[in-house]
Each structure stands twice: as structure tokens, then as C-alpha cells.
Amino acid sequence: MKIKLPSNMRTGPPTGAGVPEPPEPVTTPVGEPATTPPAGPAAPVEPVVPPPVAAPGVEPEPSPATGSKPGLWAGEQTPAGSVIGQVLPMYFVGDESHSMAGEPIAAVNQGLIDLRDEVAKHPLIGKKVRFGIITFAETAQTRLELSELSEDLVLPTLSPRGRGTSYASALEALRQTIPADVALLKGNGYQVHRPSVFFLSDGLPTEKPEKWQARLAELKDPSFRERPNILAFGVGEADPEVIGALASSPRYGFMMTQGASTAGAIAEFAASMLNSMVASAERLDRGERTIEFEKPEGFVQLDAPLV
């Protein structure tokens, strides 16, 4: 929620019998308030059922959770104005290119299993978080539609595939998926917090820089109402400059410490993603920062001063 003070003062209560005059501010805000209302028209309150993600360069894939509908898609749709809960969407966007073969990809898969199990065990945060998985190699795939992390959720097993590493396809998939997911959650009666993306790569994009940079600019565009917080993590041969560019804030870019084990760093990354999920869900109501995150062991924060 995070009240937008200036606009509410202008709006005032609706008219009606015995309704007070529109309120007048007696003090003037110093500078701009911390938040501004989102631009653009209201999101549709009518339930919206988006088609499966099919961004250009994105291969649709059946949900791995065959037989159990992900939590997001379940439930009765609620009438307009009726709110049933609040949720924080979080996406893991992972590199599935061939360079991840072996221990690194195994560490990702184990990290995701641990994440699911820990969240499912927690009595409070499981209901507040929705988790999705998008992977990329030469194309992007939605491997897990935004879901509640319950213990019976079937996770995809990531494995190296294809040739190339297309950041553009992953960023495009996010640009397509996030608004559709947010609209669906709202249609189902949820208050939706700003989504967060955990982006993990072990190499350089194999496409022209202009291509992925253009997709990134679209994702970060301030006029894109559902633009996510992006935390970017580079392991292996990833380029710190590229990882830093992906992050939505300089403090959200992280590179594996030189000489560290890639698989070990990925395990630390996964543990930090879990911690972030717990901390962010705990503070969901407050909203002073939507995403809580601490640097994982074995990583360097890219905006930290060089030593």
C-alpha cells in the first residue's frame, strides 16, 4: 500500500451526507515524497487469464508440476475490490548453457530443492511468496510458472542444453511473464508486491550487446509498471560489467570471488536467495524496501570499493 500523501490530500473523502470538506494540507511536504503513484491506467480488475508465455525466442514448455496446478492458477476468482491476501513474486532466472554442465548445474538443482523444502516448512512465508523459474541458453524457457512453494511442488531439473547464451531471450521472457503473472494474481484478489528477479549466469551473452541491452532497457523502463528488482550474480566466466549492468541497483550486482569454486558459489547463492525470501516476506507489510538481501559468501558486491 504505501500511501501517496499528496494525491490523497487532493482526493479527499468521497462526497455524501455529512461528509467533510476535502481536507487541506496544513503542512507542505519537504521535497518529493518517497513514492509516487504508478503511472498509467488502472490494471484490469476483471480476472485475466494470460496465455502461456510465448515470447519471441522463448520455447514454451509444459509445467513440470504435472498433475498439480501451481498455486497461482488455483482458487476461485474474487469479485473486484475484494482482497484475499498479499504476495511477493520472485523469479529465478538461471543459465542452462553448456558451460554450466557438471557440478554447477547440480548445485543449482540442489539449491532449488533446498529452497522449496525450507520455504514449505515455514509456517508463514510460504503463503506470501510465489516462485517462478526461467532458464536460458540460446533460448529461454519458463520451467516453473509462478507457484506456491509447497512440499509437493514438482521442481524442474535443469540440465545444459543448446548452443549459446541469450540474455535477450531471458529478459524478454521476464518482460512478458511478469505483467501477466501480476494481472492474474490481482484478478485472483491478491495485493502484489514488486517482483524480484535473481539472475544467475556463468558466462557472457553470445549475442550482440545491443540486443540484450535493448531488452534490459525495456525491463528497467520506469514506465513499465511491473518492473522488477533485479539481483544479478556472476559465476565462472561471467563479466562483472555485464552483471553490474543487469542489476536494477548497483548494490544488487554480485560476482563470484576469483579462484572460488563455481559450484560452491552457486550453493551460497541459493542459500542467500532463500534468506532473502524469508527476510523479504517477513517485512512484506512494511515496504521500506521490497527486497531484503545480503551478499552471499564467496561473492563480491560490485558497487563495493575496490581494494
The grid coordinates listed for 182 are 501480476
* 257 and 299 Cβ atoms separated by less than 8 Å: yes
Q: Site for another protein (CB under 8 A): which residue of 100, 153, 182, 255?
A: 182
Backbone angles phi, psi at 300, to 5 degrees: -115, 130
What single letter denotes the amino acid at residue 215?
R
We find the least distance from the C-beta atom of residue 222 to another protein, in angstroms, to be 12
Looking only at the bridges linking them, the beta strands covering 229-234 and 196-201 are: parallel
Q: Site for another protein (CB under 8 A): which residue of 150, 225, 271, 275?
A: 225
Spatial distance between the Cα atoms of 149 and 155, rounded to a whole number of angstroms: 10
For residues 272-291, which are near another protein according to CB under 8 A?
282-290
294 lies in the site for another protein, by CB under 8 A:
no
Spatial distance between the Cα atoms of 173 and 233, rounded to a whole number of angstroms: 18
163 lies in the site for another protein, by CB under 8 A:
no
Spatial distance between the Cα atoms of 243 and 231, rounded to a whole number of angstroms: 9
Which span (35-43, 133-141, 156-164, 299-307) binds another protein, by CB under 8 A? 35-43
* C-beta of 38 vs 56, nearer to another protein: 38
Q: Site for another protein (CB under 8 A): which residue of 157, 159, 191, 249?
A: 191
Site track 68-107 with another protein (rule: CB under 8 A), x = hit: ------------xxxxxxxx--------------------
Spatial distance between the Cα atoms of 188 and 77, rounded to a whole number of angstroms: 5
5 lies in the site for another protein, by CB under 8 A:
yes
In terms of Cα–Cα distance, which of 136, 105, 206 is closest to 164? 206
We find the least distance from the C-beta atom of residue 150 to another protein, in angstroms, to be 13
Residue 135 CA, chain-centre distance (Å), reads 13
Q: Site for another protein (CB under 8 A): which residue of 11, 77, 157, 159?
A: 11
Which 3 state secondary structure label does DSSP give 233? strand
Q: Which residues here bind another protein, judged by CB under 8 A?
A: 1-9, 11-14, 16, 18-21, 23-31, 33-35, 37-38, 41-43, 45, 80-87, 123-124, 127-128, 182, 186, 191-194, 225-226, 282-290
